[in-house]
Amino acid sequence: MREKEDLLMRDLFASSVSYINCTGGGNGDSPSNISRADVNNIETILLNNDARTMLESIDAMDKFSTGPTRDAFIALASTALTQDLQSVQGVLLKNAYPSQVGLRPEEYCSISRFRFFVSSKAAKKPGSSMLGRTIYTIPMYGVEAAAKIEQNQYTAVIGSRPAWVVSNVAQNSGLYARFAIARAITNQNWISGLNATTVQPT
């Protein structure tokens, strides 16, 4: 059920956000693979529009091979981009954060002012790049850029159908979920994003 809510938000971001093609990568495609310059470009756009960061900084600690993170915007990327994210200049992988307290399993790394969260369900456009590669969209946003709208006095419901309704022949499911929500972008100035391909063709 919560996954369905995430998919609705993914589709909203895919259809309503103004994405900028990555150009700083070296794979010779358009858009290119992601680079530090591309990430910095989105940071500048959000800061110029007075967007506020969503995540607090993580202070440095006396630990080997770790580094602090700045207060950050959020970026949502496909798991297909993880290899390329590791190659971006200045990337700090999650295991190198000074503290792991409160981190989500989906968080992957920090680049500049963005902390990247990855999912296999991220939006993509197969065969759409100049060289016929898959284009992955990366929404990047600040606080209050999007919202979930719920009906008053209504919440999500999980239920089951009676046995006489469920049939393997008819392929009916015995379990169902029902919810009434809508996703909305509340300020277009506080959300932007990147179109990226991968170094290795996908």
* 1 has a pLDDT exceeding 60: no
Tokens 């506080």, located at residue: 190
CA distances from 53 to 29, 108, 117, 160 (A): 31, 18, 15, 42
CA distances from 81 to 5, 10, 22, 114, 158 (A): 23, 16, 13, 15, 34
Each residue's pLDDT tens digit, 3-26: 777 787 888 898 889 999 999 999
Average pLDDT over residues 184-190: 91
CB atoms within 10 A of CB 136: 26
pTM for the whole thing? 0.82
Closest CA to 38 of 161, 137, 132: 137
**How far apart are alpha carbons 33 and 79 in whole angstroms?**
14
Q: Is the dihedral of CA 120, 121, 122, 124 positive or negative?
A: positive
Which is higher by pLDDT, 122 or 148?
122
* Domain ranges across the chain: 2-145+187-196
